Structure 1
Amino acid sequence: MKITESKGFSSPNFPARPQIKHHTSRLAFNFSFLTNATQYNLKKNNKNVNNKIRLKLLEKIATLSEEDKVLILNRSKDQGLELLPEEQVKLRINQEFKDSGRYEECDDNYWVFRLSKKGRVIGKISDNIFYILAVDPKFDLYKH
């Protein structure tokens, strides 16, 4: 069957569609539920986390919060985030985090970002909130 153009046919006119502006979803970081285990929190009495690690943490958070979450999740684990099953991490979660209901709102796994060779930061994500649960400067919260 051969289709030919009809002389009386004109294509329909559709109204112009309004342009929809999409907001990017950037990560926000929350320190409220850091573990109470001294060797993995940011308290002054933690001899494992020095000012160089604190500065690197601040730099990394600034970098990760500048781009869309989707872009960060698609980066390599050295530049972005790494997903770890919960059973692979030896972390005692702050009980207030669980009691607040936030634990149930988060993904099932942990998310990790690197502080170069200075350590790892372990947390959970709910929508665009990254709850920082531990800073691991000794690299002993999970197998590397």
Structure 2
Amino acid sequence: MKINNSYSGPKFSKTVKIKHHIDRFAFNFSFLTKDSKYNLDSRSKTINKKVRLKLLDRITQLSQDDRVVILNRDKREGLEKMPENKVRLSIHPDFKKSKRYDECDDDFWVFRLGDLGRAIGKINENIFYIMSIDASFDQYNHGS
């Protein structure tokens, strides 16, 4: 007995592989502190238009090169690692609830906004979560 089977199985479209680009930083503002002194709230008395423009300028600069290049720059042009216990920052509660906190480096990372302030955040691979904008220079010791 000969069986003629022309069934070849289901036809699936080719699986699309999404490449996750991790060579450059992507900046995320979703978890800025709720403290209006250190976030982009329009009621903030410390985050003015000059600080906002400088923040945008610095993000643009830091987005132009690979992470490796940024991390090897001097702290005035790149990033500075800051131990978490040295920073006075109220972490957004949703950041911890979402487990993103556990996925990030242990320390905070800081980038300078010239003499207008500092942006403080956490890094998970290429995502820089901006958590605070310190335009009053009081969230950590700015001695150097």
- Counterparts of 1:137 and 1:94, CA distance in 2: 18
| SS of structure 1 residue aligned to 2:52 | helix
Q: Work out whether 1:51 is the aligned partner of 2:45.
A: no
Maintained 8 Å contact 2:22/2:125: no
- Counterparts of 2:132 and 2:91, CA distance in 1: 9
Deviation at 1:32, TM superposition (A): 0.2
Map Cα deviations across residues 40-67 of structure 1 (whole Å, 9 max, x no partner).
Answer: 0000000110011000000000000010
Structure 1 residue runs of 4+, over 2 Å off?
A: none
TM-score where L is the length of structure 1: 0.83
Residue 66 of structure 1: which of 61, 64, 67 is its match? 64
Residue identity in the other structure for 1:71: V
Deviation at 1:86, TM superposition (A): 0.3
Correspondence 1:89-100 to 2 at 5 A: 89-100=87-98
- Counterparts of 2:54 and 2:141, CA distance in 1: 22
Deviation at 1:24, TM superposition (A): 6.8
| SS of structure 2 residue aligned to 1:111 | strand
- Counterparts of 1:80 and 1:143, CA distance in 2: 18
Deviation at 1:38, TM superposition (A): 1.1
| SS of structure 1 residue aligned to 2:130 | strand
Over aligned residues, Cα RMSD in angstroms? 0.9
Residue of structure 2 equivalent to 1:113 = 111
Residue of structure 2 equivalent to 1:102 = 100
Residue of structure 2 equivalent to 1:42 = 40
Q: Which has the larger radius of gyration?
A: 1
- Counterparts of 1:135 and 1:26, CA distance in 2: 21
Gaps of 5+ in 1: 1-22
**Aligned-pair identity (%):** 57
Map Cα deviations across residues 113-142 of structure 1 (whole Å, 9 max, x no partner).
Answer: 000000000000000000000000000000
Maintained 8 Å contact 2:104/2:123: yes
The 1:142/1:53 distance shift into structure 2, 3 A limit, reads same
- Counterparts of 1:51 and 1:33, CA distance in 2: 21
TM-score where L is the length of structure 2: 0.83
